[in-house]
Amino acid sequence: MNFIEKKPITVVIIAVIVVIAFIALRWNSTSAIDVGVGIGDAGGNAIGHFITSSINSVLGQTYTTPSRVADCPDGYTNAGASCYRGPYTYGNNSHVADCPGGRTNTGTWCGRGFLYVADTLGMDDMTCPKGSKKHGARCYPDCKAGYTNNGETCGRGASSLSMSSMTCKEDEFKTGARCYKECEPGYTSFGEFCRAPAK
C-alpha cells in the first residue's frame, strides 16, 4: 500500500494548500492593477496566513532556533571537529649573570682589575635573580606556564582538544560542535527548528 492509499486525507489537504498558494500568487499579481495595492496586500496576507495555519495543522507548529559554534577554552578556536590552538613563540632576552664582590662578568669568569684577571672566580660563582635560570655565564628568565625555554625565546607547539572540551550556555544544549537553543515546553528540537505535534 503506497502513501496515497494510506493517508488520502493528508494528500487532499496538501493538494488544497498548493491550489490556495497558486491563487494567492495570482491574487497578488493582479490585485495591484484591478483593485489597488492596499487591497491586494491585505488579501495576500490573509491567504498567506491561512496557508501557514493549514501547514501547521498538518505538520505541527514550528519556529526556528538558529545554532552557533560551541565555545572552546580560552586561546582555542572551534575548528569543527576539535578546538585548535596554533604554535606560538615570544622573545625571552637573556642577560649576563651577576658576579660577587664587584667583579665583572667576562663571559667566562668573574674578575677584577686590569683585563679582569685579578681575584678571579669561575662560572659556578655567578648567580641569577629569582625567576630566571643560569646557563653558562648568562641568566634566562623563566617562561610562562606551558612554554619551553629555547634560550632567547619561549615557545609552545600546536595543540588540539576534543569536542568534549567544548561548552554551551545554560539555556543551550550541545550536539557535536554546535550549540542549540532549548525548545519551549511541548516542542521537540529538530536542530535548527522546534516543532510541536500536529493538531
User: Which residues, 6 or more positions from 138, have their beta carbon under 8 angstroms from its beta carbon?
Assistant: 94, 95, 96, 97
Question: What pLDDT is stored for residue 2 in this prediction?
Answer: 37
Cα(163)–Cα(148) distance, integer angstroms: 26
- Count CA atoms within 13 Å of residue 45 on its CB side: 6
Do residues 69 and 78 lie in contact, with contact meaning Cβ atoms separated by under 8 Å? yes
Do residues 119 and 100 lie in contact, with contact meaning Cβ atoms separated by under 8 Å? no
Cα(97)–Cα(133) distance, integer angstroms: 9
Q: Return the axis-axis angle of helices 8-34 and 37-59, rounded to nearest 10°.
A: 170
Question: What pLDDT is stored for residue 81 in this prediction?
Answer: 94
SS3 readout for 18-35: HHHHHHHHHHHHHHHHHC
Residue pLDDT tens, the chain, 199 long: 433 344 455 545 555 565 555 554 454 444 433 434 344 444 556 665 555 555 555 556 888 888 999 999 999 999 999 999 999 999 999 999 999 999 999 999 999 999 999 999 999 999 999 999 999 999 999 999 999 999 899 999 999 999 999 999 999 999 999 999 999 898 988 888 898 887 6
- Count CA atoms within 13 Å of residue 154 on its CB side: 15
Question: What pLDDT is stored for residue 190 in this prediction?
Answer: 86
Question: What pLDDT is stored for residue 34 in this prediction?
Answer: 42
Do residues 167 and 71 lie in contact, with contact meaning Cβ atoms separated by under 8 Å? yes
Q: Which among 104, 102, 93, 103 is positioned nearest to 139, based on CA atoms?
A: 93
Do residues 111 and 104 lie in contact, with contact meaning Cβ atoms separated by under 8 Å? yes
